[in-house]
Chain A
Amino acid sequence: MNMTMTAPEVSTTALSVRGLVKSYGGRPVLTGVDFDVRYGEIVALLGANGSGKSTALQCIMGLADPDDGGIRLGGADLGPLRGRELAAARQQAAMVFQKVHLVPRLSAVDNVCAGALHRMPGWRSMLPQLYPRQIREEAMACLDRTGMAGRALEQVGRLSGGQQQRVAIARSLCQRATVVLADEPVSALDPHAAEQVMSLLADLAHTEHLAVATVLHQPDLARRYADRAVGLLEGQVDFDVAPADLTGEHLEPLYLPDRVAA
């Protein structure tokens, strides 16, 4: 694949979040979150349910409107952008969901092509049968990159959870995203499939120089696959450390029962 040629140099900041604030119906969820993700690294976001991890990702992707704070994606400040310019800037980031969000009745390759809808001509984007051949071939290469090329023509609904997640990751590659945000990508998977998906995400960060941020509920996976672990507690960053330094002292406050209840 040629995305390594277009991706910026390793260690420049791909995603930068500053002072992100968001509340739902008067209940504060994020109270000033700062973190960075650089090209070529995978960052694990840890935290209890309700600590704001997913909300932070949603604010970046435009699925939620932040009340305050700044987001920079690939060097572009999203704040002043509107309409098409904002959409174009956001296309650098792709989202991978816990529930994969593929269309079960369509084939894997059709689902992957859908990541490229934003650069397809109008009428040819209306039916999978009309998708341009270059895009179908690019989608095949993306499936190959995630180890799913052999199942390209199968209905996604018939694939296992881990396979579906790898198709979803291929879709984000076909989007030509340089930043991948994964919201609990392995929470619904068995341990073996979870290992496969995490090692794929880490590999994409390290060899394709993508910036990957992933919400995780298993500190163990963060230790083994992430380059950095960011802990969120009550809507703020509690720690930002190398996984090797991640200790019980970091993790225990995150998952205290009274915090989880809130």
Chain B
Amino acid sequence: MTTAETRTPRRLPVPSKPRRGLRTSRLVLAAVVIVVLHLLAFQGTGFRPVVLVEGWQGMAGFLAEAFPPDLDWETVLRPGLEATVVTLWIGLLGTTMSIPTALLLAVLGSRTTGAHPLVYQAARSVLSFFRAVPDIVFALIFVTAVGLGPFAGVLALICHNTGVMGKLWAESMEETDQGPQQALRTAGANRMQQAANATLPMVVPQFVGLLLYRFDVNVRSSLVLGLVGAGGIGLLINQSIKSFQFDAMLTHIIVVLVLIVVVDQVSALVRKQLSGPNS
């Protein structure tokens, strides 16, 4: 008698999928298309590693001038730290001040909570517009109204972040279980009540996670906004490059690095707490 240890496992042939040939030819076609696109892209961007190797001295000279970083408190480090705090404020306000607009457009622009197909389409279009226009363009526009400085950066981030976060929120509402919403519909709740009492409570953890993710991104975006005059540490980095003070630039970059790592870690920590037992 065979025991469990000596028994040879049974095997059965795996049935082959029909229309295999068609799938293979499709794969080949996809591969060819991807390769051709890459060749075109290499050409279009002048992507030639040789140039990089040949020009190494330029980089080396630049880095040599940057080292050691200029850590002078009065002229470099303190203004750098102060500007970094401003960058953080821009990122924070750009994220939180866009919550009402993003929430409104997300609720209207989500297939599950949207009132009317026309309203849905309109909300989606507004979101697309705010998403499509880069924050840096918004910043340039707002600088003309409110002048150079962090306020223009905040306004720019509010606009762009409304578009991105609104879309992410709308999608997470569409992906969540529709059952509770349907149950409230059969209980006679109107669309607003369904959204407020079923859909939104279900997606709160996702919403907060996405909010933190956007805060993370927005702090980094506000660096770039500084380059076009919207305040913060980006402005100082830009100035130090233009005046060939590469050692001061390095100091600012190190400060920025610390800021980014701290923001990243804090938001990761909070997100981990959120996805804990309650989700």
Contact = CB atoms under 8 A, between A and B. Distances in A.
Given A103-B201, A125-B196, A155-B278, A117 B188 contact: yes
Interface in B179-199: 179-180, 182-190, 192-193, 196-198
Contacts of A126: 192-193, 196-197
A59 interface: no
Contact of B186 (A63, A120, A127, A155): A63
B188 A103 contact: no
Nearest to A94: B187
A106 B187 contact: no
Contacts of B185: 63
B188 A87 contact: yes
Interface in A141-191: 155, 157, 168, 171-172, 175
A224 interface: no
A63 B202 CA distance: 21
A259 interface: no
A105 B202 contact: yes
Nearest to B195: A126
Interface in A170-224: 171-172, 175
A115 B187 contact: yes
- Which interface residue of A63, A118, A128, A157 has the most chain B CB atoms within 10 A? A118
A94 B196 CA distance: 20
A62 B204 CA distance: 29
Interface in A93-119: 93-95, 97, 99-106, 114-115, 117-118
B110 to A, nearest CB: 17
A118 B197 contact: no
B201 A175 contact: no
Given A105-B202, A106-B201, A90 B188 contact: yes
Contacts, number: 75
Contact of A91 (B188, B197, B202): B188
A102 B181 CA distance: 9
A10 interface: no
Interface majority SS (helix, strand, loop, mixed), chain B:
helix
Interface string B188-223: 111011001110011011000000000000000000
Contacts of B183: 95, 97, 101-102, 168, 171
B187 A102 contact: no
Contacts of A62: 186
A101 B187 contact: no
Given A101-B180, A105-B201, A125-B196, A117 B278 contact: no
Given A97-B183, A127-B196, A118 B189 contact: yes
B180 A103 contact: yes
B189 A103 contact: no
Contacts of A127: 196
Contacts of B204: 105
A114 B180 CA distance: 10
A88 B185 CA distance: 12
Nearest to B278: A105
A61 interface: yes
B187 A117 contact: yes
A191 to B, nearest CB: 24
A125 B193 contact: yes
Nearest to B179: A101
Nearest to B181: A101
Contacts of B187: 91, 94-95, 114-115, 117-118, 171-172, 175
B202 to A, nearest CB: 6
B66 to A, nearest CB: 51
Contact of A114 (B182, B190, B197): B197
20 contacts: A61-B186, A63-B185, A63-B186, A91-B187, A93-B186, A94-B187, A97-B179, A99-B179, A101-B183, A103-B197, A103-B198, A105-B202, A114-B187, A117-B187, A117-B190, A118-B189, A125-B196, A127-B196, A168-B183, A171-B187
Interface of A: 61-63, 87-88, 90-91, 93-95, 97, 99-106, 114-115, 117-118, 120, 125-128, 155, 157, 168, 171-172, 175
Q: Which 7 A-B pairs rank lowest in CB-CB distance, beginning with the nearest?
A: A118-B188, A101-B179, A101-B183, A117-B189, A91-B188, A95-B186, A126-B196
Given A117-B188, A175-B187, 8 more contacts: A63-B182, A87-B188, A94-B187, A97-B183, A101-B179, A103-B198, A117-B189, A155-B278
